[in-house]
Amino acid sequence: MTDNAVKRADKFLSIADQFKLGRLVTEQPHPATNNLSSLAADNLPEAISILKELDRQTIEVLSEKKKQICYLKNIIHDTIKSGNNIYFCGCGATGRLSITIETLWRQVNSKDNIKDRVFSFMAGGDVALIRSIENFEDFPNYGARQIHEAGFKDGDLLIGSSEGGETPFVIGAVEEAVQISNNKPFFLYCNPDDLLCEVAERSRLVIENPGIEKINLTVGPMAVTGSTRMQASTILLAAAGIALFYYNENDKSIEEAIDHFYEYWDSLDIQFIERFIVQESQYYKDGDYLLYETDGQLGITVITDTTERSPTFSLLPFENANETDPDLSLCYLFMPDALDSERAWENLLGRTARTIEWPEIDGIASREQLIGFDFSAKVINRRKLLYKSIRQHRFKIQSDQEGINFILGNYRHYLPAPFTVPLFSHLILKMILNSLSTLVMGRLRRYESNVMTYVRASNNKLIDRAIRYVDLILKNKNIELPFNTLAHYLYEMIERTPSDQSIVLATVMEIEKRNT
């Protein structure tokens, strides 16, 4: 083991107790999906039905939270009417949903000055939409710093979302908002209060702080263990988004909208995605690549699902045009109506992109880095120049006034979306894409049972998760080692394992080799 690996492991172990989150509900395996990887390979209709049912249960929980959503709606109404602004923040999946809310707000209010009254930021800035900044979410002071740079002031309202309820970055931003504004910030999360208070001191301080409003949206374990990009981020996006988009409506309008959303999803047949799952996974097995072609209306939800696959399943992330000889990601966003990268980003977000130019992070969240993620009309030729023999297919997901078109190869499907508020169409698309990508990854063996064995250990929470998964697999093989020993093995293998391979399985194999 290198000296660097030892130092990194020891540094993590010195604070590991703050990130031992295995007892949280969001970190538990879901009993309904314990054979999901097998079903993805052998019985897609059953796998699709199970995932759809878990999303139905999520919307059912949302229905039970109407009172809290209406309360948040009233605070948003008063804030806007008083001339102040609404801010949404998060990191990872909750950062993307925060940016999604602002993007949809700008689409709906594109011709009204009120479009500039809603602001979003995520850990690492807009660059992190595509590629998370390693360890950024572990620092509460970064959250505090970004909220200041965002222009948050007295009277403004912050709505911070953390799937697990323990994210240091979000907690730092929320606690800083208490100091800046007389408008109490909101903290939205998906784990039981008592459990959070036991597991994480930082969470207890937020939950017990009378200066912070809390909305608990616990929905149970995730479909893939720990993959909070699924049910947890769905209910957080729905609750926060509904409160915003109905800020000027009465409570009954919210109740009716949620009921309609539930009834639509409950009656919707999403088995059509089976043939798209089979086709997409076959392209990858054949060594081909896929471009998700979309438009400015749906782009934010499409990019969210496609980029979240990288950290969840250890896929190569979207390549950056500024990198030398980059490895190509399996899929990439494609917005053909944008002539260059700058315009593609503006079409995606409905505004100029926001970057972080802090000297201490060496440009990894800078404007130059962001523009290098070029998903404009140039993307096809750019990737061909890198690899002349590349075979690229297009998966078109495009909107019209009444629904969404899906086109891949010879397969087509039109999905009616009878909603007056676009948020609901995006929630439907999100749930469909989450199921589709999860089952594609299952067919590529990127998880086992429902355990995220290909998790990318890029921050302290995920380091802890990876160690727990290593421990789980080893115990099934009758090998038991102390947590500290497993941590040192993991950090050793992080240095030796390619980024698109499973650090969990690589660590297990190394330990088996040395203990036989």
pLDDT in tens, 144-186: 999 999 999 999 999 999 999 999 999 999 999 999 999 999 9
- Which contiguous run of DSSP H or E holds residue 149? helix 140-149
| All residues at 6 or more sequence positions from 198 whose CB lies less than 8 Å from its CB, including other chains | 23
pLDDT (tens digit per residue) in 247-289: 999 999 999 999 999 999 999 999 999 999 999 999 999 999 9
The token pair that represents 343 in the structure block: 């315009």
Instruction: Give the mean pLDDT of 346-367.
Output: 95
pLDDT of residue 70: 98
Question: Residue with structure tokens 């031992």?
Answer: 20
Least confident of 135-139, 292-296, 420-424: 135-139
Lowest mean pLDDT among 131-135, 357-361, 452-456: 131-135
Per the structure block, which two tokens stand in for 390? 């590349």
Tell whether the model's pLDDT for residue 135 goes beyond 90: no
| The predicted structure's pLDDT at residue 516 | 74
pLDDT of res. 389: 87
The tokens for 408 are 């891949």
Looking at the chain, how many residues does it have?
516
| Token code pair at residue 67 | 């009172």
Whether 134 has a pLDDT exceeding 90, the answer reads no
- pLDDT value at residue 515: 83
Residue ranges matching CATH 3.40.50.10490 in the chain: 55-267
- CA 403 to chain CA centroid, Å, is 24
Residue 504 scores a pLDDT above 90? yes
- pLDDT surpassing 80 at residue 220: yes
Q: Cβ(238)–Cβ(254) under 8 Å?
A: no
- Over range 44-57, report the average pLDDT: 98
Q: Is residue 298 very low, low, confident or very high in pLDDT (cuts 50, 70, 90)?
A: very high
- Whole-number Cα distances in Å, 473 to 26, 458, 479: 19, 20, 9
Is pLDDT above 90 for 1?
A: no
pLDDT digits (tens, 9 = 90+) for 366-375: 999 999 999 9
What pLDDT is stored for residue 23 in this prediction? Answer: 96
CATH 3.40.50.10490 fits 55-267, yes or no: yes
Angle at 217 between CA 453 and CA 427, to 5 degrees: 75
pLDDT in tens, 101-126: 999 999 999 989 999 999 999 999 99
Chain centroid, CA 118 distance in Å: 20
Q: pTM of the predicted model, to two decimals?
A: 0.96
96: confidence class by pLDDT, cuts 50, 70, 90: very high
**Average pLDDT of the chain?**
96
> Sorting pLDDT into bands at 50, 70 and 90, what band is 37?
very high
The pLDDT assigned to 192 comes to 98
Predicted pLDDT at 401: 80
User: Alpha-carbon distance 87 to 195, whole Å?
Assistant: 28
What percentage of the chain exceeds 90 in pLDDT?
95
Looking up tokens 């809603």 gives 118
Judge whether 277 and 290 are in contact, CB under 8 Å: no
Segment 386-432, tens digit of pLDDT: 888 899 999 999 998 889 999 999 999 999 999 999 999 999 999 99
Residue 53 pLDDT class (50, 70, 90 cuts):
very high
Give the pLDDT confidence score for residue 133 in this predicted structure.
81
CA 414 to chain CA centroid, Å, is 26
Judged against a pLDDT cut of 80, whether residue 228 lies above it is answered with yes
